Amino acid sequence: MRTFGCQMNEHDSERISGLLEADGMAEANAMDEADVIVLNTCCIRENADNKLYAQLGQLKHLKKANPRLQIAVAGCLAQKDRDLIREKAGHVDVVFGTHNVHRAAELLTEARESGPIVEILEETAREDAAAFPSALPAKRESDFAAWVTIQIGCDNNCAFCIVPAVRGPEISREFAGLVTEVKALADVGVTEVTLLGQNVNSYGRDIQLARRQAGEDVRVRPLFGDLLRDVGAIDGIRRVRYTSPHPKDLRPETITAMAETDAVCEHLHFPLQAGSDRILAQMHRGYTGERFLEKLQEARAGVPDLAVTTDIIVGFPGETEDDFVRTLEVAAEARFDSAYTFVYSPRPGTEAAEWTDKFIPAEVTKDRMERLRTVIERSSRARHAERVGKTEIAAVFGPSKRDPDVMSGRTRQNKLVHFASDKPLKAGTYARVKIVDSGMHYLRGELLDITALPTHRTRIPVVSA
Ligand code: SF4
């Protein structure tokens, strides 16, 4: 299983792996030992299609050496390119999209019996188990932390984004089913959940509108805050995170629920994208730079100690020097803890990709990117330095990559923290750590004590006789 792109894709991959394991497969140690290779693709990043076709080219010789090998291409790029994938790479056996992840195992079986298949659905099946990756069996990467998809698709139309085209309109999962799923995760020892959606804080809007259209007397009100409260109240759930919210839909009820629910972590990913009102309007983001900062201020006032991360695009078509300077100003005022910064690159099929006459030359975007990084690095360092002297709880995920005697974990603010421990701590341990030093991307701490041990059961592989 090879995954490209965002957490939603990684979560889909966990579900595809879970379905294949339920179908009797086991994870191969290496590509050249595999009988099935699934590439779960993304079309958000630059050159995603070139990278996919290059990778498929490399897989050709594996297919020659092992004619039993099946190659499947899934995900957003599959949804977009469809038959083109087999036209360009005839050795691909199965192409399936974002709306039929649940069919992964069946499609591979069908292709084994009757030849290559391209199956792309135009919209998501409405039944829970088919539509939502969380409702399918999963092979999770972590035993103590899990993703839960609460909503798929997006009703916005950001001019740079292909998501609405490849993931369809917003569909929310039923509230009760979600709570039941998180309870089941807690029962097997999961202590941290991340609620996933393209636009998580508009969760439930479609459910209530549908009920109103069906004649029920329903007041359309935000449900996301209620979900945070109910999931956060589940016994055993210590941490609730969510990603990604849209700034225009951040409601006071969500901020209050964050503040009043102990399990909800003090971290908000709040994608700015640009600071200039003119560019934000062209992006169809639905807020101005000033409004973004006001909402941020409201969130920080409501949730003490809130860490804020963001996404910013540099060089959106038509971005002038003045527009960019406004992005710098808003970013500086926002004092982000960290930011994912991207140079704009056109996604075929999106509105902004048509504005070729307004594309910004590479030397200009390079310069702007460097200036933006300086601003972000300044606030990252300062925000991390503010943690020094504080006591944080780290959820341990394992030894540090560089030094096995050093443990790594995440604080509630989602900051990476390293600390020495005289004995290894299992993933899922919660440890109290005094912060003694900081860098741009990490904190360094001293272990004070252990506050909770992992409770997840070690999985015993089921092998049929
Ligand atoms: S809100 Fe905008 S950027 Fe986010 S998924 Fe929807 S269209 Fe894309």
Q: What is the pLDDT of residues 350-403, one digit of tens each?
A: 999 999 999 999 999 999 999 999 999 999 999 999 999 999 999 999 998 888
**Cβ of 238 less than 6 Å from ligand 1:** no
- Counting Cβ atoms within 10 Å, is residue 114 exposed (0-12), middle (13-18) or buried (19+)? exposed
Which residues of the chain are modeled with pLDDT < 50? Answer: 129, 459-465
Using CA atoms, how far residue 201 sits from 13, 100, 223, 300, 440, in Å, is 24, 25, 8, 17, 29
Q: What is the pLDDT of residue 213?
A: 82
Dist CA 146 CA 197 (whole Å): 14
Q: How far is the CA of 166 from the centre of ligand 1 (A)?
A: 11
Q: How far is the CA of 93 from the centre of ligand 1 (A)?
A: 31
**Cβ of 163 less than 6 Å from ligand 1:** yes
**Cβ of 76 less than 6 Å from ligand 1:** no
pLDDT tens by residue, 134-191: 665 565 668 899 999 999 889 999 999 988 888 888 999 989 999 999 999 999 999 9
User: Which of 158, 272, 313 for a ligand 1 pocket mutation test, highest count of atoms within 8 Å of Cβ?
Assistant: 158
CA of 167, closest atom in ligand 1: 5
Give percent above pLDDT 90 in the chain.
60
**Cβ of 164 less than 6 Å from ligand 1:** yes
Q: Name the CATH code of domain 391-452 (choices 1.20.1080.10, 2.60.120.700, 2.40.50.140, 2.60.120.10).
A: 2.40.50.140
CB atoms within 10 A of CB 391: 12
Q: How far is the CA of 388 from the centre of ligand 1 (A)?
A: 35
**Cβ of 350 less than 6 Å from ligand 1:** no
Q: How far is the CA of 84 from the centre of ligand 1 (A)?
A: 25
Three-state secondary-structure class, residue 132: coil
Q: What is the pLDDT of residue 431?
A: 97
156-173 as b/e: b if 16+ CB within 10 A = bebbbbbbbbbbbebbbb
Dist CA 150 CA 224 (whole Å): 10
Using CA atoms, how far residue 323 sits from 51, 315, 331, 372, in Å, is 32, 10, 13, 13
Q: How far is the CA of 199 from the centre of ligand 1 (A)?
A: 7
User: Which of 42, 156, 316 for a ligand 1 pocket mutation test, highest count of atoms within 8 Å of Cβ?
Assistant: 156
**Cβ of 198 less than 6 Å from ligand 1:** yes
CA of 244, closest atom in ligand 1: 4
Q: Is the dihedral of CA 52, 55, 59, 61 positive or negative?
A: positive
Which protein residue's CA is at the shortest distance from atom 4 of ligand 1? 198
Which protein residue's CA is at the shortest distance from atom 2 of ligand 1? 158
DSSP character string of 139-167: --S-SSEEEEE-EES-S---TT--HHHHH
Please say whether the beta carbons of 315 and 364 come within 8 A.
yes
Q: What is the pLDDT of residue 461?
A: 42
**Cβ of 161 less than 6 Å from ligand 1:** yes
Q: What is the pLDDT of residue 357?
A: 97
Q: How far is the CA of 444 from the centre of ligand 1 (A)?
A: 35
Structure token pair of residue 127 = 């039944």
Q: Where are the beta strands (DSSP E) in 141-293?
A: 145-149, 151-152, 171-172, 192-196, 239-243, 267-269
Dist CA 252 CA 54 (whole Å): 47
Q: How far is the CA of 152 from the centre of ligand 1 (A)?
A: 11
CA of 161, closest atom in ligand 1: 8
CA of 285, closest atom in ligand 1: 2
CA of 246, closest atom in ligand 1: 1
**Cβ of 269 less than 6 Å from ligand 1:** no
CA of 157, closest atom in ligand 1: 7
Opening angle at CA 202, ends 197 and 203, nearest 5: 60
User: Which of 157, 199, 344 for a ligand 1 pocket mutation test, highest count of atoms within 8 Å of Cβ?
Assistant: 199
Which protein residue's CA is at the shortest distance from atom 8 of ligand 1? 161
CATH class of 2-119: alpha beta
Q: How far is the CA of 154 from the centre of ligand 1 (A)?
A: 6
Please say whether the beta carbons of 28 and 18 come within 8 A.
no
Of 302, 367, 300, 304, nearest in space to 336 by CA: 300
Q: What is the pLDDT of residue 220?
A: 64
Q: What is the pLDDT of residue 463?
A: 40
CA of 164, closest atom in ligand 1: 7
Token pair 């979900």 is found at 227
Q: Per-domain residue ranges for the chain?
A: 2-119, 391-452
DSSP H/E element including 258: helix 252-260
Cis peptide before 202 (omega within 30 of 0): no
Q: Is the dihedral of CA 178, 181, 186, 192 positive or negative?
A: negative
Q: Is the dihedral of CA 287, 293, 296, 297 positive or negative?
A: negative
Q: How far is the CA of 156 from the centre of ligand 1 (A)?
A: 6
Q: What is the pLDDT of residue 361?
A: 97
